[in-house]
Structure 1
Amino acid sequence: MPRETGFKSERTMTDSTIRMAEPVDLPQIMAIYNHAVRETTAIWNDTQVDLDNRERWYADRMGRGFPVFVAVLGKQVLGYASYGDWRAFDGYRGTVENSVYVAPDMQGRGVGKALLQALVDDAREQGKHVMVAGIEAGNIGSIRLHEKLGFVEVARMEQVGQKFGRWLDLVFLQLRLDERPEPTA
């Protein structure tokens, strides 16, 4: 994917940009992450993070060659997305897992779709073969978003997580990024 691309927000019709994140974006990325921790089952953590945590996360992603994209309108971060290793074993090197998070007031406006498309495009350019998404089964919006871009459900694991005093089910979706009959690396 090019370093920067524009898109129209579906509800507000404002011009927004998808670009690689920069350190200056990290406080807003942290705020979006912490909202998801506090208020949703999108992230199965109970503890909010500080800026030092997001700086280490960002440095790790950059150091390992993984993208961190942000959707921005001016200087406002509307959402962010990244992908990384699905599993740490060599045999999984062609498979990545995505993460897409959108500011609560921007959800349902096309931001998540634009960010996920940027991840898919980038993973294809990097020669990845499969992208996986692990989504809490009740997060229908995220599941539908992934399905719109061609992801299909491949597994459902009951009660493998917990948050807010209840068990959570995990749905795995995947998208094959290319049609190679055999791995090239």
Structure 2
Amino acid sequence: MSSERTEVQVRPGVEADLDALTNLYNHYVRETSITFDTVVFTPEERRAWLLSHPEDGPYRLMVATPADSQRILGYATSSPYRAKPAYRTSVETTVYVAPDAVGRGVGTLLYEALFAALAGEDLHRAYAGVAQPNEASARLHARLGFRHVGTHREVGRKFGRYWDVAWYERPL
């Protein structure tokens, strides 16, 4: 793992990544309960999402690629936690890793780069919702300083069943 991990670079996401990011996300929409979206997106439908994550400010998009190509291995974002003004110093974070890159440290690299980029922002807390069960994500979040703060029971329905979501928080 360590030799593969060092060959990964993390950079801000750009509009040229839109097709690959959409394809990666759509895998999780179609195949898993990790996201509660139930219908796949076209790149054009995801454009506003991508553009809402500029290279600066509290809402970022970081992508991981092999050092020798632009293939997307995964991405991490920080997004508004809630719409009301008093929540502005909180963000919701998420990370998605390509199925063939899971277990190679890509999620850790993405989150480390995201938190480093956010270090100079006026932010206080990061939150992450993790559909259950998902032990790998729970371990990733714990490794990066998140702590479990509660679980919403049967909050989302997908694939004909209800899913719990565990919530994690981390100081920034």
Q: Same fold (TM over 0.5)?
A: yes
What CA distance in whole angstroms lies between the structure 2 residues aligned with 1:139 and 1:170? 10
Structure 2, unaligned runs of 5 or more: none
TM value normalised by structure 2: 0.92
Answer whether contact 2:63 2:73 (CA < 8 A) is retained: yes
Q: How does 1:94-109 map to 2 (within 5 A)?
A: 94-109=89-104
Letter in 2 for 1:67: R
- Tell me whether 1:155 sits opposite 2:150 in the alignment: yes
Q: 1:72 aligns with which of 52, 58, 65?
A: 65
Query: RMSD of the alignment, in Å?
Result: 1.6
Answer whether contact 1:120 1:131 (CA < 8 A) is retained: no
Letter in 1 for 2:60: P
Provide the aligned length of Structure 1 versus Structure 2.
169
Structure 1, unaligned runs of 5 or more: 1-8, 178-185
Residue identity (%): 36
What CA distance in whole angstroms lies between the structure 2 residues aligned with 1:125 and 1:53? 31
How far has the Cα of 1:62 moved from its partner? 2.4
Structure 2 counterpart of 1:114: 109
TM value normalised by structure 1: 0.86
More displaced stretch, 65-74 vs 12-21: 12-21
Structure 1 counterpart of 2:161: 166
Change (3 A) 1:173 1:13: closer
What CA distance in whole angstroms lies between the structure 2 residues aligned with 1:11 and 1:40? 29
Letter in 1 for 2:13: A
Q: 1:85 aligns with which of 70, 80, 86?
A: 80
What SS does structure 1 have at the residue aligned with 2:100?
A: helix
Change (3 A) 1:63 1:53: farther
After superposition, give the CA deviation of every residue in 1:28-53 in whole Å (9 maximum; x if it has no partner): 10111000001111110110000102
Q: How does 1:3-82 map to 2 (within 5 A)?
A: 10=2, 12-13=4-5, 15-62=7-54, 65=57, 66-73=59-66, 74-82=69-77
Answer whether contact 1:79 1:111 (CA < 8 A) is retained: yes
